[in-house]
Structure 1
Amino acid sequence: MAASTGDPEGGGRYGEDVFRPEQEGEGERIDFGALAYDETTMARLRALGVGPGWSCLDVGAGTGTVSRRLLEELGVESVLAVDRDVRFLARRPTPGLEVLESDITAPGFAPGRYRLVHARFVLMHLADRERVIANLAELVAPGGVLVLSDAVDLTNDRTPDTPYTEVMQAMWLGLRATIGTDVSWVPSCPQLLRGAGLVRAAAELYVPPLTPGSPISRFWADTWERSRAAMLATGTVDEDTIDAALLYLDSDECAALSAGMMTTWGWKPGPTG
């Protein structure tokens, strides 16, 4: 899970008010997300033809798992990994990997043009995401591709009433109120890429299975613990409900859908796209 940037609608910031990088276990939480989603991300990047000779920008790179796999598995030429806090990225220097500590929402963020621009679980935490998408599209070289992944909430008024459902819904409410996280816009991402001048926009959805002890289950458990105060502030759940959801998530009784990851891509018109 990538750390993100900016001044969201809730008035706080990811990494400062919730999910602080200096908090014990935060790198491990991000890596649980990577274990759940990296294979799907890499399969899509392979299918798009990412490989030798490509220059890549990985936005909100987190602990750098995608950045390093681009170099080590797909053989790309170079990767610039950007995050507002790069402590996790700096732990393991990798040939071809450059690390930049920067806020992508800051005026003048323009590190160059790249054949691949990738961001996962970043836009959902940012205000003015249409402007950010337009800026990212400008960083795509002609013939290159912009790939964005964000979460899709699969709970609704027909979802079975379980502690898991109550807490997942409270989490989205709490994060929106504190740091501005909003996933309601994510299904419109293909149209947003078209609006940013990209072509052949398409999308796919992946939902990792919730099984006891799985990376995604451990990711959600850690995420709920870190956002507990935000959830309690919504008034929709109490401590007992959160504790019951944690037990449910780690039990054979769990029968629920994780939030999905929707990946959207669009190409910059040009000679090699």
Structure 2
Amino acid sequence: MSHDTTLATDYASGALSKDTPEERERLRLLQEWGDPDTRRALRAVGLGTDWRCLEIGAGAGSVARWIAGQCPEGSVTAVDIDTRYLDDSAPANLVTRTGDIRQLDFPDGSFDLVHSRLTFCHLPEREELVARAVRWLKPGGWLVLGDPMCLPAALSVHPPIRRFFAALEEGWAAQGSDMTGWATTIPARLARAGLRDIDVLSRINLLGDKGPYAALAAANIRQEGAYLVGAGLLTRADVDAVTELCAGPGFTEIRSISVYAWGRKEES
């Protein structure tokens, strides 16, 4: 098949664009799957009731709202390039800000916590942003990052999986995302940026597990599949084949490993 590689080169207009009609439901499923581990990671750093916090890539806002509830005497600034799915039920100490974090800046020492989930992996400037996030931290503040390490498509024993995720890898690469190597380096990058007390939380994510991850994966495949078909990288039959395989009885396959890492900025 010919490859009409009219690929979007930016996450905002790519495979998981917020302009797609399924995005609200996909974000809900993402929260259902991801929030328990996110809260576990954030509890590990010992949130203070008066902390000032920055949430990068707020999505539909569940993490930002939860942090605001844990820090009732503090504040949360929730940033996203598109805040249309942040609802109006935000607590008084939560402020939303529309903007590209690559183009925003904050004064040095502004925050006790900077957190981001499933965002840095999509930003080509991710290494520079780690350094900036550390600068935004107060002495003693924490940087907490969570991203996926997706297994290479070529490792799958299933041809439909290999075809679908190989095409997706091409799409991710075109927009500057790193879905394979970046997450494994986060702990080392935090340490190299001068943070201390580094710790890690990880989880294996299985296609076919019938739980929250499977529901999210199915939504991702539908949304990403439509994008890949439109870009000429797959046929509709390719997408249907991987959907049918993942929903079939007895199917299971490791698709990714979630990596959360956090570190503390040394006191001055």
TM-score (structure 2 length as normaliser): 0.86
Unaligned runs of 5+ in 1: 1-9
**Aligned with residue 94 of structure 2, among 87, 93, 97:** 97
C-alpha separation in 2, matches of 1:80 and 1:152:
27
C-alpha separation in 2, matches of 1:29 and 1:51:
31
**Aligned with residue 151 of structure 2, among 139, 154, 173:** 154
Q: Is residue 168 from structure 1 mapped to residue 165 from structure 2 by the alignment? A: yes
Residue 175 of structure 1 aligns with an amino acid whose one-letter code is: W
- Following superposition, the deviation at residue 117 of structure 1 comes to 0.3
C-alpha separation in 2, matches of 1:264 and 1:76:
26
**Aligned with residue 51 of structure 2, among 51, 54, 60:** 54
Deviates more, 1:23-32 or 1:244-253: 244-253
Cα RMSD (Å): 2.4
Could you report, residue by residue, the CA deviation over 1:65-124 in whole angstroms, capped at 9, with x for unpaired residues? 111111235656221111111111243232211111121101x52166111100011111
Q: Is residue 190 from structure 1 mapped to residue 187 from structure 2 by the alignment? A: yes
Deviates more, 1:125-134 or 1:196-205: 196-205
Could you report, residue by residue, the CA deviation over 1:196-236 in whole angstroms, capped at 9, with x for unpaired residues? 2212223231124444653322222222222225545575x
Aligned residues: 259
1:173–1:231: 8 Å Cα contact kept in structure 2?
no
Indicate how the Cα distance of structure 1 residues 50 and 238 shifts in structure 2: closer, same or farther if over 3 A, else same: same
Deviates more, 1:93-102 or 1:119-128: 93-102
> SS of the counterpart of 2:77?
strand
> SS of the counterpart of 2:55?
strand
> SS of the counterpart of 1:80?
strand
Q: Is residue 214 from structure 1 mapped to residue 211 from structure 2 by the alignment? A: yes
Percent identity over paired residues: 28
Q: What corresponds to 2:106 in structure 1?
A: 110
2:22–2:223: 8 Å Cα contact kept in structure 1?
no
- Following superposition, the deviation at residue 30 of structure 1 comes to 1.2
2:65–2:90: 8 Å Cα contact kept in structure 1?
no
Residue 32 of structure 2 aligns with an amino acid whose one-letter code is: L
C-alpha separation in 2, matches of 1:96 and 1:20:
28
Q: What corresponds to 2:240 in structure 1?
A: 243
1:114–1:141: 8 Å Cα contact kept in structure 2?
yes
- Following superposition, the deviation at residue 157 of structure 1 comes to 4.5
1:1-40 equivalent positions in 2, closer than 5 A? 12-40=9-37
**Aligned with residue 122 of structure 2, among 100, 122, 125:** 125
C-alpha separation in 1, matches of 2:89 and 2:162:
38
- Following superposition, the deviation at residue 170 of structure 1 comes to 2.7
**Aligned with residue 80 of structure 1, among 66, 77, 81:** 77
1:58–1:118: 8 Å Cα contact kept in structure 2?
yes
Residue 201 of structure 1 aligns with an amino acid whose one-letter code is: I
Indicate how the Cα distance of structure 1 residues 122 and 105 shifts in structure 2: closer, same or farther if over 3 A, else same: same
> SS of the counterpart of 1:259?
strand
Q: What corresponds to 1:262 in structure 2?
A: 259
Q: What corresponds to 1:144 in structure 2?
A: 141
C-alpha separation in 2, matches of 1:261 and 1:176:
19
C-alpha separation in 1, matches of 2:247 and 2:89:
32
> SS of the counterpart of 2:259?
strand
- Following superposition, the deviation at residue 190 of structure 1 comes to 1.5
C-alpha separation in 1, matches of 2:49 and 2:116:
20
Residue 190 of structure 1 aligns with an amino acid whose one-letter code is: P
Q: Is residue 252 from structure 1 mapped to residue 233 from structure 2 by the alignment? A: no
